[in-house]
């Protein structure tokens, strides 16, 4: 079973927000110089680390114009108090340390508080945040925002927002034209950010990351907490069985080494797939890298390097992270013991890894062709699918005509339909995702054809509940939900206010699977009250996912055929609304080659 990682390292779990304070001159001068804002990736790095230190469970990054025009980082962390928004943008102001001795017990990714101040000096920065006053309890208060340009405060106000923080950086380096001359092309700058996000996704697999570049999704992880699954998501690996887990610790508590190592099949010609973290921070430390290489050098072909992600946790007092401005180098108190343990951990896995004549080259990032869930989700609100379990491999486009003529052969694990195409190729169809796509497109057509101004009492395609369901909303959610009641009625969700912040839901959309929605009405109501421009699409996806066929349901041949014919009539039969694959295709050429017919 895959090891499940916390959303943040263990040492972060007890973190709570502490007040902002300006460091004394003595402390500020003794800390190594902070990160320099060199390029858009530098800005993204600082903002992501702040989000992680704020306990975020989901982080969304948006770039436009290679990050020079706009960078936006959205998180669902504990936020910044109204009175501290401006303080957070002052030099040497931080909530993470107060004395130099605190550096010996660091439990955060950053500590100097220079990031926002440095960024605001060379861009226009807007910070919108809604803070959680008490840990685990949301106070009813609006979000607050400020805008700084060139380091000067120019605007402030209030705006509705879910708990968390959104930092928007516009016109980066607008007042430093010399710096703009050193910027590379958009592909290069976007590539730096993508590589950065891949590292953080591997460092924090229980956090859901997404990266949108000019409204295209370049990266999205499920936040499953499983490092092996995150590797499969990032690199489109077809088999997670090709990855072995590592978990080693010493009896004295000086170190804990854990992570994942690909077998020999996944060995590549470059070192870019070797990633090392120390106490949750990505590092490049020569003696640690040499220790890893000693572990695999004699066990892999010459010039090959493994897919390797390792986390090294050591007591904060036994690591010095303040030896490099970018914090990518560290010193360790128990260096000899750790070096030996790293070498042996890698060697022990590769010694049991069989060889294969077919190497696998990792492809580049997928540019999403389907809309993903673009907005941050709230804590406790999850879709029925826990993760994107695998990525679609490149294959010929599938047409509705091919799907309509598929012949079902069997059902695998009551989850996947095996079907033969007229050309002799084999298709594997995920029954849940296929049904989800069918329902989603039906709901989308229904919603598109509904006129909110029509004075209809309820939708013609609705199933009346025997007993209405009462849902309780927060104040800001209740106001949004009441405004959207006519649109919900067009989907078959008959809902009305029931006094205060309570709502009464009387019906659900008609059709197969509608009865499954009853148990999910509170979370569907939260989606319908989402403070997002994409709330309609989020709701359609939620309705489709929660009413679709479950995995584990046995289908007879007639039901399998019906599902395939319905899938043949949708616009996007290859991917579910979340962007995960529905079809896996084994061409006749592939079968002939593998079986040597």
pLDDT, one tens digit per residue, over 1-20 is 456 555 444 444 445 566 66
Percent of the chain past pLDDT 70, that is, above it, reads: 76
The stretches of 449-520 forming alpha helices (DSSP H) are 475-483, 485-490
Q: Cα(292)–Cα(340) distance, rounded to whole angstroms?
A: 9
Q: What is the pLDDT of residue 390?
A: 33
Question: Considering only CA atoms, which of 164, 230, 241, 227 is closest in space to residue 9?
Answer: 227
pLDDT, one tens digit per residue, over 54-76 is 899 999 999 999 999 999 999 99
Q: Is the pLDDT of residue 371 over 60?
A: no
Instruction: For strands 58-64 and 208-213, give the pairing.
Output: parallel
Q: What is the pLDDT of residue 36?
A: 62
Of 109-118, 249-258, 476-485, 554-563, which has the strongest mean pLDDT? 554-563
Mean predicted confidence (pLDDT) in 408-429: 92
pLDDT, one tens digit per residue, over 317-355 is 887 765 545 556 778 878 889 999 999 898 888 766 654
Mean predicted confidence (pLDDT) in 214-229: 91
Q: What is the pLDDT of residue 148?
A: 94
SS (H, E, C) 211-243: EEECCEEEEECCCCCEHHHHHHHHHCCCCHHHE
Question: Considering only CA atoms, which of 63, 87, 88, 60 is closest in space to residue 76?
Answer: 60
| Domains by residue range for the chain, with CATH | 10-222 (3.30.565.10), 237-350 (3.30.230.10), 392-597 (3.30.1540.20)
| Greater pLDDT, 250 or 169 | 169
pLDDT, one tens digit per residue, over 509-566 is 877 777 788 888 988 999 998 888 888 888 889 989 988 998 899 999 999 999 999 9
Residue 244 three-state SS:
strand
Q: Cα(513)–Cα(521) distance, rounded to whole angstroms?
A: 13
Instruction: Give the DSSP per-residue string, 130-188.
Output: E--SBTTB--S--EEEEEEETTEEEEEEEE---SEEEEEEESTTTT-HHHHTT---HHH
**Predicted confidence band of residue 300 (pLDDT cuts 50, 70, 90):** confident
> CA-based angle 378:382:387, to the nearest 5?
120
Answer for the pair 266, 243: CB distance below 8 angstroms, yes or no.
Answer: yes
Tokens of 336: 């000899």
How distant, in Å, are the alpha carbons of 98, 142, 574, 583 from that of 395?
56, 49, 11, 10
Calculated CA dihedral for residues 121, 123, 124, 128, nearest 10 degrees: -80
In the block, tokens 């050429």 appear at 589
Q: Is the pLDDT of residue 395 over 50?
A: no
Residue 461 three-state SS:
coil
Q: What is the pLDDT of residue 385?
A: 39
Q: Cα(97)–Cα(33) distance, rounded to whole angstroms?
A: 16
CB atoms within 10 A of CB 518: 15
pLDDT, one tens digit per residue, over 92-145 is 555 544 444 444 444 556 543 457 888 888 899 999 999 886 555 555 567 899
CB atoms within 10 A of CB 22: 15
Q: Cα(492)–Cα(464) distance, rounded to whole angstroms?
A: 9
How distant, in Å, are the alpha carbons of 50, 85, 91, 160, 285 from that of 128?
14, 9, 19, 9, 36
In the block, tokens 């804002």 appear at 37
- The pTM of the full predicted model, rounded to 2 decimals, is 0.56
Answer for the pair 159, 48: CB distance below 8 angstroms, yes or no.
Answer: no
Q: What is the pLDDT of residue 140?
A: 52
In the block, tokens 């009405």 appear at 521
């Amino acid at each position: 079973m895959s090891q499940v990682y916390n959303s943040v390292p263990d040492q972060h779990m007890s973190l709570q927000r502490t007040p902002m304070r300006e460091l004394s001159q003595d402390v500020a001068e003794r800390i190594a110089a902070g990160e320099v804002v060199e390029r858009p990736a530098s800005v993204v790095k600082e903002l992501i680390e702040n989000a992680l230190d704020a306990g975020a469970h989901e982080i969304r990054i948006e770039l436009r114009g290679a990050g020079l025009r706009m960078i936006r980082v959205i998180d669902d962390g504990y936020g910044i108090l109204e009175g501290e928004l401006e303080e957070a943008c002052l030099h040497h102001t931080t909530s993470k340390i107060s004395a130099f001795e605190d550096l010996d017990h660091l439990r955060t990714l950053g500590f100097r508080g220079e990031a926002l101040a440095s960024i605001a000096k060379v861009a226009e920065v807007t910070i919108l945040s809604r803070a959680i006053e008490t840990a685990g309890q949301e106070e009813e208060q609006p979000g607050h925002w400020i805008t700084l340009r060139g380091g000067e405060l120019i605007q402030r106000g209030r705006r509705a927002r879910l708990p968390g923080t959104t930092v928007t950086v516009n016109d980066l380096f607008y007042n430093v034209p010399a710096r703009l001359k050193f910027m590379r092309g958009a592909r290069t700058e976007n590539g730096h950010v993508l590589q950065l996000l891949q590292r953080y996704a591997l460092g924090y697999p229980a956090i859901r990351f997404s990266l949108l570049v000019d409204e295209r999704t370049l990266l999205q992880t499920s936040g499953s907490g499983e490092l092996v699954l995150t590797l499969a998501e990032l690199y489109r690996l077809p088999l997670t069985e090709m990855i072995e887990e590592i978990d080693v610790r010493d009896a004295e508590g000086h170190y804990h080494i854990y992570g994942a190592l690909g077998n020999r099949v996944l060995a590549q010609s470059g070192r870019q797939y070797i990633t090392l973290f120390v106490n949750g921070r990505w590092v490049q430390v020569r003696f640690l890298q040499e220790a890893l290489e000693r572990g695999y050098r004699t066990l892999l072909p010459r010039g090959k390097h493994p897919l390797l992600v390792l986390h090294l946790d050591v007591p904060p007092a036994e690591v010095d992270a303040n030896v490099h401005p970018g914090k990518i180098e560290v010193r360790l108190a128990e260096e000899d013991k750790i070096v030996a343990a790293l070498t042996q951990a890698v060697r022990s896995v590769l010694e049991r890894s069989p060889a294969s004549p077919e190497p696998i080259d990792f492809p580049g990032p997928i540019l999403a062709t389907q809309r993903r869930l673009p907005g941050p989700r709230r804590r406790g609100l999850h879709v029925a699918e826990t993760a994107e379990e695998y990525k679609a491999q490149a294959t010929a486009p599938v047409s509705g005509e091919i799907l309509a003529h598929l012949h079902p052969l069997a059902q695998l694990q009551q989850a996947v339909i095996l079907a033969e195409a007229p050309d002799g190729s084999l298709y594997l169809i995920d029954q849940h995702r296929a049904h989800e796509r069918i329902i989603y497109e039906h709901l989308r057509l229904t919603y598109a054809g509904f006129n909110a101004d029509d004075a209809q009492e309820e939708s013609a395609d609705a199933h009346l509940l025997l007993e209405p369901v009462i849902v309780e909303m927060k104040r800001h959610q209740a106001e949004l939900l009441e405004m959207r009641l006519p649109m919900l009625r067009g989907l078959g969700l008959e809902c009305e206010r029931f006094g205060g912040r309570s709502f009464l839901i009387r019906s659900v959309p008609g059709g197969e699977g509608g009865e499954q929605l009853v148990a999910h009405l509170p979370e569907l109501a939260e989606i319908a009250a989402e403070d997002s421009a994409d709330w309609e699409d989020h709701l359609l996806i939620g309705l489709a996912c929660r009413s679709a066929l479950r995995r584990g349901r046995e289908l007879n041949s007639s039901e399998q055929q019906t599902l395939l014919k319905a899938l043949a009539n949708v616009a996007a039969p290859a991917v579910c609304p979340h962007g995960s694959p529905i079809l896996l295709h084994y061409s006749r050429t592939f079968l002939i080659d593998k079986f040597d017919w």
